[in-house]
Amino acid sequence: MNIEQIQTHPFPDQRPGTSGLRKKVRVFQQDHYLENFVQSIFDTQPDLRGGTLVLGGDGRYHNREAIQTILRMAAANGIGRVLVGQGGILSTPAASCVIRKYRTQGGIILSASHNPGGPDGDFGIKFNTANGGPAPEKVTEAIYRRTREIDSYRITDDEGIDIDQAGTHTLGETTVEVIDPVRDYAALMRELFDFDAIHQLFNSGLFRMRFDAMHAVTGPYAVEILERILGAEPGTVINGEPKEDFGGGHPDPNLVHAHELVDLTHGFDPVDFGAASDGDGDRNMILGKEFFVTPSDSLAILAANAHRVPGYRNGIVGIARSMPTSQAADRVADALGIDCYETPTGWKFFGNLLDARRITLCGEESFGTGSDHVREKDGLWAVLFWLNLLAILQQPVATIVRDHWRRYGRNYYTRHDYEGVDKAAAEELIQQLRFSLQELPGQEFEGRIVDYADDFAYTDPVDGSVSANQGIRIGFRDGSRIVFRLSGTGTEGATLRVYLEAFEADPSRHDLEPAEVLAPLVRIADRVAGIRHRLGRERADVIT
């Protein structure tokens, strides 16, 4: 094996976003592009030299080629051992599980999460630190600074190794172990949940579910755990084969992109429970018969019922939610007498709170829920949590949710996404909102009086770091609010997300259509921000 020192030049666009570096596949296929970023990780993370690295991805297009490149670079940079998922597969939560279980020095995850795949789709890479979570800003900034000055990278001249068969290989002095991607994760789930109770639920003859893996990474995990271990009938997992282009679909588990699953919970003889996960396995959607559970409500319901589940029977110490997520979890925290933290969007902000044992459960409105079992959001974990509750409570999903609303009140909630808009126009919209913040308090819009208006800033209670400009919040005296935020997960143009929330305590008003309840806030949002005028959009592209 020979080590080559390849001359290169910096690329100006390698600053990681909230979930790593995401670009179109064709960008990553440029000479030196992936290599520069990987070398920058190795250069800024000295603990990896002689240590252990976890490596895997969601199976999307370019995943295999990237893994071979990273393996060759790992050997050239003195990484002692690499644990790589068989076939290049490791869901994001499973990668976090493996990092933590084997106490490795970190991991590289290849994924663009819920973004489309294929030759014309998206690709991504992110580094997770030794706690199993996404690298904090101080680490991603160090990696970015290195990408701006890099002039060479190290790589071996090997042809690569067979990653389709479990076993141990060597690249120079580096040991490469191809591991079963499901085994360690399944063992962890067995520790957290009552598998016997869920098995009985599936074998009662009175319960049917469908899990839509969306031709993404969770297919093998769901088949093994749901069908083989828990005894769900064959065919419970649909679209279970991971494909490089996700079968031509968009692996985002929401009411729009998972319409096949939504149809199975409606109409003649619907299934009792529907669930889906996304491209890399860290998101989830929960459905009952003709009933959709918002991610915000799901977090609150899991927190309120955590004591019923083996892994959380000793209680939870706190909850965290991202700022745009509805305040439903706050009401549960108040009732339990525990803290509820409001953080910026991005799972890395939960990491310090989890490591400091200030929280047990956390979640985001963008279909992400998780706990202290790993340091990533975890789609299949959330599904198993719901299955455990269904097995214990012996009630339909809709009944569980409505009972929760009766006790805590209902937070009507929706998100409007304006996708692929002109980036400059979107940034100008946000800037104009910032300029108007001081003038908004006290103003009245459609009978609602503005209580506060700010640009959310977060001071981490553990390390004192400050994250500013995290989204515009406009709160009204009746408890409703509007949030405006530019997303950092897309690869082209910009996505403006508008979050709308209204609280209703009266149980007689808990079955109204969300669109009806929130329509006034939609009009206020357009009036305040000038969405139609500035972006030229009459309506949102996706409403969830």
Residues whose CB is less than 8 angstroms from the CB of residue 259 and which lie 6 or more positions away in sequence, other chains included: none
What is the distance between the terminal CA atoms of the chain, rounded to a whole angstrom? 52
Check if the beta carbon of residue 350 is closer than 8 Å to that of residue 343. Answer: yes
- For the four alpha carbons of 376, 192, 305 and 252, in that order, the dihedral sign comes to positive
Helices (H) and strands (E) in the chain, counts: 17, 27
Catalytic annotation on 436? Answer: no
How many angstroms separate the Cα of 165 from the Cα of each of 173, 361, 414, 473, 544?
Answer: 21, 36, 45, 51, 40
Check if the beta carbon of residue 280 is closer than 8 Å to that of residue 92. Answer: yes
How many angstroms separate the Cα of 166 from the Cα of each of 72, 181, 360?
Answer: 18, 10, 34
> Judging by DSSP bridges, how do beta strands 209-212 and 174-179 pair with one another?
unpaired
Q: Measured between alpha carbons, how far is 211 from 224 in angstroms, rounded to an integer?
A: 12
SS3 503: strand
* Residue 122 burial class via C-beta count within 10 angstroms: exposed 0-12, middle 13-18, buried 19 and up: buried
Q: Which residue of the set 40, 113, 366, 480 is catalytic? A: 113
Check if the beta carbon of residue 77 is closer than 8 Å to that of residue 49. Answer: yes
251 — phi, psi (to 5°)? -80, 55
Beta bridge partners of 501: 413, 481
Residue type, 381: W
Q: Measured between alpha carbons, how far is 369 from 298 in angstroms, rounded to an integer?
A: 8
Q: Measured between alpha carbons, how far is 277 from 287 in angstroms, rounded to an integer?
A: 12
SS3 84: strand
Q: H or E segment at 339?
A: strand 339-343
Beta bridge partners of 363: 321, 369
For residues 14-45, one letter each, b for 16 or more C-beta atoms within 10 angstroms of the residue's C-beta and e for the rest, the string is bebbbbbbbbbbebbeeebbbbbbbbbbbbbb
Alpha helices in 356-458 (DSSP H): 379-393, 397-408, 423-436
Residues whose CB is less than 8 angstroms from the CB of residue 456 and which lie 6 or more positions away in sequence, other chains included: 323, 344, 470, 471, 472, 473
Q: Which residues are catalytic, by number?
A: 113
